[in-house]
Amino acid sequence: MPFLLLALLTFRAAAADTLLILGDSLSAGYRMSASAAWPALLNNKWQPDTNVVNASISGDTADQALARLPVLLKQHKPRWVLIELGGNDGLRGFAPADIEATLRKTIDAVKAANAQPMLMQIKLPANYGRRYNAAFSAIYPQLSEQYTIPLLPFFMEEVYLKSEWMQEDGIHPSQAAQPFIADWMAEKLAPLVKHDS
C-alpha cells in the first residue's frame, strides 16, 4: 500500500513537470518525422526531469491552436506552455490587433489552468512591408510586458544564417537544423523551466 501511494505521488510530480509546446510548422517538424523535430530532441535531452509534449501542427493559425488548447491543458496538465504562434496569421496578412487578441486569449487560458505561459517572438520576411512587420513584431514584447511573462528570441534568426539548415521553400528549418535548435532552445529555456518549487 505505501508503495502504491509513493508511485502515485511520483506520477503526479512527473505530470506536473511537463512543458507543452503549442506551435505551428516551425516546431511541428514540417516534412520530417515528429521524432526528428527539435521538441522531440529536447524531450530526449531533458529526460527524466521534464517531459516535453509537442502539440504543434503545421499550418495552424493562432486561433486554430487556441481552439485545441483546452483539451491539451486538460490532457497533459503542463507546468509550462511555450506559445510559438502567429507566423501563419502574419503570412496571411491578418490584422495585428486580431492576432494580439487571440494570443491574449491563449495566455489567459494557460494562466487559468495554473500553468506558466512563455511566448516566443515571431518575425516575418522583410517583403511583408516595414509597416506591417513593425506592427506584427511589436505584439510579442507588448504581451510579454503586460503579462510579465518570458519572451524567447526567434530561433529562426539563427537558422537562416546557414543554407543547409533551411528547406527549399526558404521558410522552414531542415532536419539538419533540428539538433541545433534543440540545443539553442534548451539554453534559452533552462533558466525558465525550474523544478525547485
Closest CA to 84 of 186, 154, 188: 154
pLDDT higher than threshold 60 for residue 9: no
| pLDDT for 131 beyond 50 | yes
Distance separating alpha carbons of residues 56 and 46, to the nearest angstrom? 19
DSSP characters for 15-76?
A: HHSEEEEEE-HHHHTTTS-GGGSHHHHHHHHHTTT-EEEE---TT--HHHHHHHHHHHHHHH
Active site residue 76: no
- Report the pLDDT averaged over residues 139-160: 97
Domain total for the chain?
1
Here the CATH number for the domain that contains residue 153 is: 3.40.50.1110
Question: Of 27, 63, 144, 172, which one is the catalytic site residue?
Answer: 172
Q: Is 25 designated active site?
A: yes
Please indicate, yes or no, if residue 4 is contained in any of the structural domains: no
Q: Is the pLDDT of residue 170 over 70?
A: yes
Q: Is residue 138, in this structure, part of any structural domain at all?
A: yes
Kindly state the cell numbers that stand for 179: 539538433
- Within a domain: residue 102? yes
| Mean pLDDT in residue range 152-179 | 94
Sheet holding 51-54, edge to edge: 51-54, 18-23, 80-84, 116-120, 151-152
131 falls within a domain: yes
- Interval 129-145 mean pLDDT: 96
* pLDDT above 90 for 5: no
- Per-residue confidence band for 194, with pLDDT thresholds at 50, 70 and 90: confident
Query: Is residue 158 a part of any domain in this protein?
Result: yes
Q: Of 24, 25, 56, 60, which is the active-site residue?
A: 25
pLDDT, average across residues 168-188: 95
pLDDT in tens, 119-128: 999 999 888 8
CB 172 within 8 A of CB 25: yes
Whether 125 is in a domain gets the answer: yes
User: Model confidence at 195, in pLDDT bands (50, 70, 90)?
Assistant: low
Q: Distance (Å, rounded) from C-alpha 154 to C-alpha 146? A: 19
Give mean pLDDT, residues 91-97.
96
Is pLDDT larger for residue 14 or for residue 143?
Answer: 143
Could you list the residue range(s) of the whole structural domain that residue 91 is in?
A: 14-189
Examine residue 150 and state whether it is found in any structural domain, yes or no.
yes
Q: How much is the pLDDT for 12?
A: 46
pLDDT at 13: 47
Q: Are 42 and 185 in contact (CB under 8 A)?
A: yes
pTM of the model: 0.90
What is the average pLDDT value for the chain, to the nearest integer? 91
169 is catalytic: yes
Among candidates 95, 116, 121, which has minimal Cα distance to 194? 116
Residue 182 in any domain: the answer is yes
DSSP 176: G
Q: If pLDDT is split at 50, 70 and 90, which confidence band does 179 have?
A: very high
Q: Which of 33, 49, 163, 169 is catalytic?
A: 169
